[in-house]
Structure 1
């Protein structure tokens, strides 16, 4: 008991500065009971998982400085690199059959699937070093800003472990609890992961076919529209009002509204098409982009417009580099060229 009290005191000292003090006591029985009822998890299993987890102050510190806080020109340099492009081409070549099958099954471009895996984990090479159980426990019970979300994911992790036969204490992932090659949260793993190679398991850690099929399934279920545009650079012929910049990921403005405000596109959509205006920081000022429905679908994976643009631009660069190979594998008729 004395050793536990000392550890809690140390945690209280080392936790990052926040608006309000962070409690370090373990979750109460009432809290766990309510969570178990809401998520349909056996209370004894939830208690066992909570008892095996530990509060990790590093996770709370990392939540205070997300990569998406960087300006666009710095964020882009992290992901749209020649090394990652060429690694994406190799991944596509090595997994050509599975990517083609995913395109035909889900009508989601191979370049997009590849780019997601490239941005998330460098094609499975960097799946995270943090214990998923500890991350979700820490954020679910000691991070008030988003405690409800992460507590739900903690409960979903318990269910996922039972369904897939996973050892929760050995799982590694991101500091936010995302796992596998595509960095799925537990609820997404349960809902969107597929056994794409038919071996009887949904393995997003070691099975590239399952990772490819699961990312494609995620985008299909969120409404990806085959062959439709994603995002396009815009020219501003008038000063751009701050109120036009889309803060939410949904495309809520009509193209006519942006056109009337002085925005111009090389390939403008119909006047009533719903779009979103993005302002991304270059070193010398903002650049403007008009995003459509498919960009919103990318943002269902991660709400940051910087993330969405990095995925899109990486996908285009991979696609161009893949097509430029001396003898790229033949593609099925369904493949439509650029996203």
Structure 2
């Protein structure tokens, strides 16, 4: 939990971000830069998106959709189109191209769905989830029949964990933007704050992102960079040629800690062979 300190520069409806302002300044950002960012008219607390992201869903994601003939056909076409890049990534990482393409397929439909949310906003909103002010705004958008869920210790613990994670990612977003010479407000991604075909969060971009095409930046909307970045991530997390299914599953679970997700990725990879 960080400590509030409302800044005069913040608009009335943005005072929820006062704790984040203090945190960003404590991480070494200049006060004027932080105030300029938080006072930008594009910056807002995404209460509706937070409810969508965090409210318990009555429907589980249908991972079976990713194992259908349409997805397999698209994956094989992608593999043919980017065969040279996939071969190079395999040589450098030892990761099977079918697994890389399976992850890109499940994450973003090979780049079709990369998200249109303002990454700064969704990360900033998550970063203050452990404050009463933010929780009130989330409650306004929470499903009525699930309002009791908000008051449970389990939910408060989940919000606190999410906030701590998001504060780290906000710092990474700032470093990524500085490295690329871009405004932190320019990035678009998922409602969780993930970027590009590979759906990397900012920390992952900084650590495992690869500039495969040599243009001076990691662009996860570019297939070359996305392919090499996914392969590099999997290699760094233990992927080696000849792994058992159980060992492969363990590696893919580091990408998304969901067994249905990991089994789907490996199942699709098998169909892409």
The normalised TM-score by structure 2 is: 0.78
Deviation at 1:131, TM superposition (A): 1.1
**Who is 2:21 aligned against?**
32
Q: Which has the higher strand share?
A: 1
Q: Which has the higher helix share?
A: 2
- Give the direction of change, closer, same or farther, for the CA distance of 1:213–1:136 in structure 2 (3 Å limit): same
- Give the direction of change, closer, same or farther, for the CA distance of 1:68–1:124 in structure 2 (3 Å limit): farther
Larger CA Rg, structure 1 vs 2? 1
Structure 1: unaligned runs, 5 residues or longer: 9-23, 231-291, 320-339
- Give the direction of change, closer, same or farther, for the CA distance of 1:42–1:113 in structure 2 (3 Å limit): farther
- Correspondence for 1:216 among 231, 234, 240: 231
Matching of residue 157 in structure 1 with residue 146 in structure 2: no
- Correspondence for 1:128 among 104, 115, 122: 115
- Give the direction of change, closer, same or farther, for the CA distance of 1:84–1:66 in structure 2 (3 Å limit): farther
The normalised TM-score by structure 1 is: 0.63
Matching of residue 51 in structure 1 with residue 39 in structure 2: yes
**Who is 1:138 aligned against?**
125
**Who is 2:147 aligned against?**
none
**Who is 2:191 aligned against?**
175
Within a 5 Å distance, the mapping from 1:256-295 to structure 2 comes to: 292-295=246-249
Supply the distance in 1 between the matched residues of 2:90 and 2:254 (Cα, whole angstroms): 19
Q: Is the 8 A contact 1:46 1:155 kept in 2?
A: no
Supply the distance in 2 between the matched residues of 1:228 and 1:295 (Cα, whole angstroms): 9
- Give the direction of change, closer, same or farther, for the CA distance of 1:190–1:48 in structure 2 (3 Å limit): farther
Q: Is the 8 A contact 1:36 1:155 kept in 2?
A: no
Q: Deviations over 1:64-123 (max 9, x none)?
A: 3577962xxx62223222111111001000000000000000111100000111001111
Supply the distance in 2 between the matched residues of 1:66 and 1:313 (Cα, whole angstroms): 27
SS of match in other structure, 1:49: helix
Q: Is the 8 A contact 1:84 1:118 kept in 2?
A: yes
Supply the distance in 2 between the matched residues of 1:81 and 1:301 (Cα, whole angstroms): 22
Matching of residue 189 in structure 1 with residue 226 in structure 2: no
Compare relative contact order (CA 8 Å, sep 6+) and give the higher one, 1 or 2: 2
Within a 5 Å distance, the mapping from 1:1-339 to structure 2 comes to: 5=12, 8=13, 25-28=15-18, 31-38=20-27, 41-52=29-40, 53-65=43-55, 70=60, 75-142=62-129, 144-145=159-160, 146-205=162-221, 207-230=222-245, 292-319=246-273
Count of residues in Structure 1 that have an aligned counterpart in Structure 2: 233
Q: Is the 8 A contact 1:75 1:306 kept in 2?
A: no
- Give the direction of change, closer, same or farther, for the CA distance of 1:68–1:123 in structure 2 (3 Å limit): farther
CA RMSD of aligned residues (A): 2.4
Supply the distance in 1 between the matched residues of 2:169 and 2:59 (Cα, whole angstroms): 24
SS of match in other structure, 2:62: helix
Deviation at 1:315, TM superposition (A): 1.1
Deviation at 1:150, TM superposition (A): 0.7
Structure 2: unaligned runs, 5 residues or longer: 1-7, 131-158
